[in-house]
Amino acid sequence: MVDSTTSVRESHADDESRGAEMAAEDTDSGRVTTGAEGQNKGNGFVGEVIDDGNVNFSTVSQARARKLIDNTDPKRTSNLSSNESSQAIDAAKDLYLKAGQVPGGKIVKDLESHKFWKTQPVARFNETFQHNEEGPIQVPDIDSISASPPALAIEGFEWVTVDLTNDTEMNEVYDLLKYHYVEDDEGTLRFRYPKAMLKWAMMSPGWKKQWHIGIRIGRTLCAFISAIPIVLRVKATTMHASEVNFLCVHKKLRSKRLTPILIKEITRLCNLEGIWQAIYTAGIILPTPIITCRYFHRPLNWEKLYEVGFSHVPSNSRPSYQIGKYALPSRASTRGLREMQERDLGSVHSLLERYLNRFDIAPKFTQDECEHWLLYKKDSTEERVVWTYVVEDDSKNITDFFSFYGLESSVIGHPKHSVVRTAYTFYYASEAGLTTPLDKGALETRLNSLMNNALILAKKHGFDVFNAPSIMDNGLFLEQQKFGPGTGQLHYYLFNYRVHPIAGGVDQDNNLDKDGLGGLGLVML
């Protein structure tokens, strides 16, 4: 069975656009810049649990919540007022939302309160349905789709198609994202997407120029959204899909309700291609998560992270201990490990395809897509964004591979450091995970060996911290490789598609759950 899907990656927005309409009118990207010790550096938002158990989506920063939660340690509560203690408990309750579920009790901001989402075909909170009822919520007629974009009610605003092959227009997108996409609460760290990363993310095989759209006022690009085609499998259903990314609105225009207009327009463009569903992510609760995962962080250069305020010294510790704790060998140790080459494409593609079949939700890559996402060509003139390594046995067979991609954050106003370089786990696969029956212990041992090598190589390439969400089989190596849990959560949603909650690697208390793996095999940039 083949359906059609759109994948929406919604951008981060700041305080200006939030308030009571936060979840209805704008959404968080779910990509949070978090410290390696779990201190959230993203401008995220958490709910505040009020006395009667209702959830009020208020603008309490996750960094503040993290600080309050730290102070709930019984040894440290003596210096807190009763009000601060209450805030800490409330923030903790929300930060540790039940994985894959909406918070229990009455939800103040229910679907009817979501001005935008209540008009969309999305699952309702606490909706019950049978497994044979999983699937599309609506089946629209392509003839009913408007041939024109929605009107922009603000004088001087106009729709534009952005040509990313044009250096001038690419620079406009780069500048918009650099200054308006994601920034931490204190304004000291800001994501910096290099142009090579933007090309890699938005110009994959089959990319469509008309799916890179923006809004201008005069000569200024003030809003942007993009999409790329993918094929997505949800359980037994394979869907023609698109992945929407880099939704960004200029900070001064966050109150102009441009986010729902951008979502409507990218939906319309995908609908014109016969694509009716969507998969998207947010760091806040919307109607209704199908997967909830948690970010984990592993310092590679702890001293630098400490100096820029990205990490902190735990109580009863000292900097020298932390530096030693996160030290790594100077060389990778796995026999047969080497950088991926073009001749490995067929083997890597086959291995990845078989490995992803283990998960409930995963992409279906062609070999061309595998090449695009994983293979770095040494003759390329572009800045490098992805690193992939394979393990070759004595018979020249590829038995394992792993990959990571890199992203920089500008450090604003620091006298010594200008950037923090972050590596993110990307796709990996191992023959150890393909045995019948699965030998989970053998897979855990193998993944720990592979990911230890990934950490060593990432540090060799100058990265300062290594981030990984609790998806795929990451839960088998996160603790042993000294990843610390962050406060950031990432919720996955399906638009116009109903499916029961899927395991995201954390339990109902938001703790790592090795028995709750195998749900998600899709990595969202």
Cα separation, 513 vs 42, in Å, equals 24
Query: Under a CB-based contact definition with an 8 Å cutoff, are residues 473 and 517 in contact?
Result: yes
Residues in the chain: 525
From 308, 346, 338, 303, select the one nearest 323 (Cα to Cα).
Answer: 303
Burial state string for 176-185 with b = 16 or more CB within 10 A and e = fewer than 16: bbbebbbbbb
- Phi/psi for 21 (5° steps) reads -100, 10
Both tokens of 436, joined, read 């019948």
DSSP state of 181: T
Identify the active-site residue in 221, 258, 300, 525.
525
Both tokens of 24, joined, read 């209805």
Type and span of the H or E element at 136? strand 135-136
Query: Under a CB-based contact definition with an 8 Å cutoff, are residues 469 and 521 in contact?
Result: no
Among all chains, which residue has been given the structure tokens 């759109």? 6
Burial state string for 133-168 with b = 16 or more CB within 10 A and e = fewer than 16: ebbbeeeeeeeebeeeeeebeeeebebeebebeeee
Query: Under a CB-based contact definition with an 8 Å cutoff, are residues 508 and 134 in contact?
Result: no
Query: Under a CB-based contact definition with an 8 Å cutoff, are residues 9 and 263 in contact?
Result: no
Cα separation, 406 vs 19, in Å, equals 33
Query: Residue 441: CB partners within 8 Å, gap ≥ 6?
Result: none
Question: CA-based angle 389:391:393, to the nearest 5?
Answer: 160
Query: Residue 308: CB partners within 8 Å, gap ≥ 6?
Result: 188, 189, 411, 414, 417, 420
Cα separation, 380 vs 383, in Å, equals 8
Q: Is 517 a catalytic residue?
A: no
Query: Under a CB-based contact definition with an 8 Å cutoff, are residues 404 and 458 in contact?
Result: yes
472: left (phi over 0), alpha (psi -120 to 50) or beta: left
> At 72, is the secondary structure helix, strand, or coil?
coil
List residues with catalytic annotation: 525
